[in-house]
């Protein structure tokens, strides 16, 4: 059950959103790690105030993750809406992203771990597409950066800001194609039609990157 946090709670948990607790910067905000009073480790995603798209992202992410629960999905603990501030609070996933483990020159992800990541991410996609109680959820931005790893390399799919869901068999059509270059399905990029097949294409690109150890768009 998601709950509403106060800004002061999150400010205290992240040591006033200190540089030492900074984790990452995304397209629509910043992510910080923190610790709640009870000792639970969290990740706080701040949404930039000026972004209309950011507002839509925030609402989409709350709605999707409130209705989706799976062992390979990042757990949304709650949110904060206070004044002009919008924040999402997640369970902290400790072992960085698949992107880091694939492409950082100082790390090597063992083959057995790669297999486990592939299987876990595939199970998460099957759940979102076929088994979720709120209908079909399409991630639309599946890439190694959005697959986080636990201490034993279990994958946790996150960042649902671009996700869409529908209950009919008719594909939704987007007037503006949004996603990450290199992972966009050609039919989605050309027509704007959003189906779960777009996620399957992105997943295929990730598998290729996991096998080759190279980015899908590699200019070197």
Residue 217 located in a structural domain: no
Q: Residues 65, 105: one domain? A: no
Residue 218 located in a structural domain: no
Q: What is the mean pLDDT of residues 51-66?
A: 73
Nearest to 219 by CA among 181, 191, 167, 185: 181
The domain tally of the chain equals 2
Q: Is the pLDDT of residue 177 over 90?
A: no
Q: What is the pLDDT of residues 99-115, one digit of tens each?
A: 999 999 888 999 999 99
Task: Look up the domain containing 56 and give its range.
Answer: 3-91
The one catalytic residue in 15, 99, 104, 141 is: 141
Using CA atoms, how far apart are residues 152 and 39, in angstroms rounded to an integer? 21
Phi and psi based region of residue 16 (left: phi greater than 0; alpha: psi -120 to 50; beta: remaining): left
Domain final position from 91, 109, 126:
91
Nearest to 159 by CA among 201, 202, 193, 188: 202
Q: Is the pLDDT of residue 197 over 90?
A: yes
Q: Does the CA dihedral 19-83-52-170 come out positive or negative? A: positive
Residue 220 located in a structural domain: no
Nearest to 75 by CA among 63, 65, 87, 67: 65
Q: Is the pLDDT of residue 50 over 60?
A: no
Q: Is the pLDDT of residue 71 over 80?
A: yes
Q: Domain of 189: which CATH number?
A: 1.10.510.10
Is 0.85 topped by the overall pTM?
Answer: yes
Is 141 tagged catalytic? yes
Bridge partners, residue 106, by sequence? none
Q: Residues 82, 103: one domain? A: no
Residue 214 or residue 176, greater confidence: 214
Q: Residues 118, 35: one domain? A: no
Percent of the chain that is helix, strand, coil (3-state, to 5): 35, 25, 40
Which of these ranges, 45-49, 93-97, 116-120, 141-145, has the smallest mean pLDDT?
45-49
DSSP 8-state assignment for residue 146: G
Residue 209 or residue 56, greater confidence: 209
Residue 134 or residue 122, greater confidence: 122
């Amino acid at each position: 059950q998601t709950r509403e946090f106060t800004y002061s709670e999150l400010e205290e948990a992240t040591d006033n959103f200190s540089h030492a607790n900074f984790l990452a910067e995304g397209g629509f905000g910043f992510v910080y790690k923190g610790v709640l009073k009870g000792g639970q480790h969290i990740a706080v995603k701040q949404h930039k105030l000026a972004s209309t798209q950011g507002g839509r992202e925030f609402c989409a992410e709350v709605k999707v993750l409130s209705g989706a629960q799976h062992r390979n999905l990042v757990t949304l603990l709650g949110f904060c809406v206070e004044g002009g501030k919008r924040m999402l609070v997640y369970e902290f996933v400790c072992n960085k992203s698949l992107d880091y483990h694939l492409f950082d020159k100082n790390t090597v992800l063992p083959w057995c771990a790669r297999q486990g990541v592939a299987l876990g991410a595939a199970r998460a996609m099957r759940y979102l597409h076929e088994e979720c109680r709120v209908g079909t959820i399409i991630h639309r931005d599946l890439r190694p950066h959005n697959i986080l790893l636990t201490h034993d390399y279990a994958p946790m799919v996150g960042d649902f800001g671009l996700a869409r869901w529908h209950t009919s068999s008719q594909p939704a059509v987007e007037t503006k194609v949004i996603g990450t270059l290199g992972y966009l399905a050609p039919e989605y990029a050309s027509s704007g039609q959003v189906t779960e097949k777009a996620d399957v294409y992105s997943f295929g690109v990730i598998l290729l990157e996991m096998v080759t150890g190279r980015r899908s768009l590699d200019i070197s």
